[in-house]
Amino acid sequence: MDINSLFSVKDKVVVITGGGSGIGLMISTAFVKNGAKVYITSRKAKVLETAAAELTKMGPGQCIALPCDLQNLDKTLELAQTIGRRSPTIPDKAWTKLLTLNVQRVFSGGPQADSPARIINIGSVDGLRVPALITPAYAASKAAVHHLTRVLAANLGGKHVTANAIAPGPFQSHMMAATLKNAQDAIVSRIPMGRIGRPEDMGAMCVFLASHGGSYINGTVIPVDGGAIIANQTYAHL
């Protein structure tokens, strides 16, 4: 029950899609700084190589860039096979099940026999509420990620794999840059914590879900939003 045993991710093998920028980079940083072996993947090879070099320099973990177009099934299967060869402690079936999905994916698993492999999907608070901006396709896709997570949890639990999703609120990222530049004060005013998310907020949640201490959590969608959803619900009833 000591904290190092409960929450250590040292020597775990982690695959992070979009891991070279934005929220993905926040997650990559948290795992590398805590001793994990991290594979980051996306279509942006140069971004990945730069991020991997910087993260490995930070240590104590290692970061490896594996560029891949995850919308291409054949390329995705090649990626799964490459990682499977490099990390034989992870069942190929688990990698394939995850990496062939056409949504944003995060997979983290460890070599411990008593610790399940983990799927951590990144959804959005806009998949839990009607967003302020008119973005129906984005909101619907994130709601689908949340429900897909529940389906995976129900079907993979017996195969020693957990599946959970994180629903971030506003974080500083390339996608959010323009919105925050134009409306950060208004956005922050609706968040009870009075700020947007920080890298450590996202990193800590992913490390927790991937650690031994998170091994009995399965099928959840966890908002990391400073209370924004609850505040919006409260205001709506006033």
Question: Could you give the residue ranges of the DSSP H alpha helices within 69-165?
Answer: 73-86, 92-99, 136-156
Q: Which among 30, 62, 65, 37 has a CA at the least distance from the CA of 51?
A: 65
Which residues are within 8 A (CB) of 29 and not within 5 positions of it... i.e. 6 or more apart?
55, 58, 199, 203
Please tell me the distance from the alpha carbon of residue 89 to that of residue 112, in angstroms, as a whole number: 9
Active site residue 138: yes
Rounded to 5 degrees, what are φ and ψ at 136?
A: -60, -40
- C-alpha closest to that of 16 among 50, 52, 46, 53: 52
Beta strand spans in 48-139 (E): 62-65, 106-109, 117-122
Active-site residue identified among 39, 138, 216, 235: 138
Angle between helices 73-86 and 92-99 (to 10 degrees): 150
Tokens of 91: 């069942």
Which residues lie closer than 8 Å to 233 by C-beta, 6 or more apart? none
Q: How far apart are CA 83 and CA 121, in angstroms?
A: 19
Q: Which residues are catalytic?
A: 138
